């Protein structure tokens, strides 16, 4: 349907030859030069949970002044910047609570979403308390959710984003591996469970990347950027489990945002 709209609205006698060879991922419905605003959507990895220095507005969302969207906006000075990402947001929350920030003037959209939808918080708890068998069962259920309902829900979300921001470049960022194997941790999960969790992150990223590509969006993989800086590494950029700040556990620190996520976004935006 999108390609037929493009062909009807964009092709003229002068551009007919170019439009005839333009695929759905490369054709545009509006000139990008007219769209200069930046909107940051998504979950806690985009809002900056774990990075500290949370903004006074929207406290429940734990939006950090050190989150990669804020850092990118400070470096590039877009015409407008809307920071809509919120702690705990899944696909439905992004759809119903965040897309109002988008418009035809939006030139860049970034987001991370999918981790909450697959129940990763519950998976991590099961892996910590349920042993290897319980952990692998929980991860198997999470993969089924990723391949089924999450993939379908991402399609709904990505379609809605494109409809509201037809000229925007959309960058969907993935999630880093949680654990550095054979690292400095002596307590907690064994390396077998840590490896299984990292594999599940890879599976989640693969599902997100496929759906993003199907909609002509850019997927930005951050696993290489975080390599050597996972939990149990000598210089981690992710917070380990903290019973006094449980919400921030397994989230990027300020260096994880500035040295992990930000350079990856800057390379593709």
Bridge partner residues of 39 (DSSP): 82, 109
Q: Whose structure tokens read 């959710």?
A: 145
Q: Cα separation of 99 and 164, whole Å?
A: 8
Q: Cα separation of 205 and 199, whole Å?
A: 10
Helices and strands, number each (H, E), in the chain: 12, 5
Q: Cα separation of 41 and 207, whole Å?
A: 19
Contact 78, 37 (CB under 8 A): yes
Which residues, 6+ apart, have CB-to-CB distance to 49 below 8 Å? 62, 64, 87, 247, 248, 251
The beta-carbon contacts of 243-248 under 8 Å, at least 24 apart in sequence, are 247/44, 247/49, 247/62, 247/87, 248/49, 248/50
- Sheet with 81-83, edge to edge strand ranges: 81-83, 37-40, 106-111, 169-173, 218-220
Q: Which residues are catalytic?
A: 44, 251
Bridge partner residues of 231 (DSSP): 179
Query: Closest Cα to residue 219, out of 101, 114, 63, 76?
Result: 114
Q: Cα separation of 200 and 128, whole Å?
A: 15
């Amino acid at each position: 349907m999108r390609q037929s709209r493009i062909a009807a609205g964009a092709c003229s006698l002068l551009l007919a030859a170019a439009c005839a060879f333009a695929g759905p991922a490369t054709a545009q419905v509006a000139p990008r030069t007219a769209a200069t605003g930046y909107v940051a959507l998504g979950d806690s990895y985009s809002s900056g949970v774990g990075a500290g220095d949370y903004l006074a507005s929207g406290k429940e969302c734990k939006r950090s002044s050190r989150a990669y969207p804020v850092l990118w906006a400070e470096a590039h000075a877009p015409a407008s910047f809307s920071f809509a990402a919120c702690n705990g947001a899944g696909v439905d929350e992004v759809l119903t609570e965040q897309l109002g920030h988008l418009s035809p003037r939006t030139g860049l959209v970034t987001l991370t979403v999918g981790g909450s939808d697959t129940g990763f918080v519950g998976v991590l708890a099961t892996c910590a308390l349920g042993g290897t068998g319980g952990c692998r069962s929980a991860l198997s259920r999470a993969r089924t959710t990723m391949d089924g309902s999450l993939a379908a829900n991402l399609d709904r979300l990505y379609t809605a984003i494109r409809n509201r921001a037809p000229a925007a470049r959309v960058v969907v960022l993935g999630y880093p591996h949680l654990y550095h194997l054979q690292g400095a941790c002596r307590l907690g999960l064994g390396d077998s469970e840590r490896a299984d969790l990292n594999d599940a992150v890879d599976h989640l990223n693969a599902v997100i990347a496929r759906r993003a590509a199907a909609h002509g969006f850019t997927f930005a993989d951050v696993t290489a950027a975080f390599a050597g800086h996972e939990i149990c590494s000598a210089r981690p950029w992710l917070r380990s489990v903290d019973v006094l700040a449980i919400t921030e556990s397994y989230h990027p620190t300020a260096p994880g945002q500035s040295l992990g996520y930000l350079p990856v976004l800057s390379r593709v935006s």
